[in-house]
Amino acid sequence: MTTLIVSYPSTEGGTFDREYYLSTHAPLVHSAWSEFGLQSAEVLFPSSEPQPFACVAILLFRDPAGIDNALSSAKAAEVIGDVKNFTNTTPTIFCADD
């Protein structure tokens, strides 16, 4: 297993629609990237106190090649293009070396 982490920063003036993320974006990610070995996803929201992130998603893939293939696929454009529908911030995407 290998991990792709997507974090959405909390910024002044930043917005994040949790309902849209959970009901629309998360299922989109799952359907788009399952064929590339996406095994599971965990979504973390901060407590109500000020935090550096509005959301952190932890996506577990079968192997590093699956992450590379998912991010370079035509479906990645659909996933990334959907981000504007729930936030006006730019996410940070990075891989953890599991």
Average pLDDT over residues 37-66: 94
Would the pTM of this model clear 0.95, i.e. be above it?
A: no
Domains and CATH numbers, the chain: 2-96 (3.30.70.100)
In sequence order, which ranges of 1-98 are alpha helices (DSSP H)?
18-20, 26-33, 64-72, 74-82
Q: Give the span between the Cα atoms of 19 and 39, in whole angstroms.
A: 23
Res. 98 pLDDT band, cuts 50 70 90: low
User: Mutual orientation of helices 26-33 and 74-82 as an angle, nearest 10°?
Assistant: 180
pLDDT of residue 97: 75
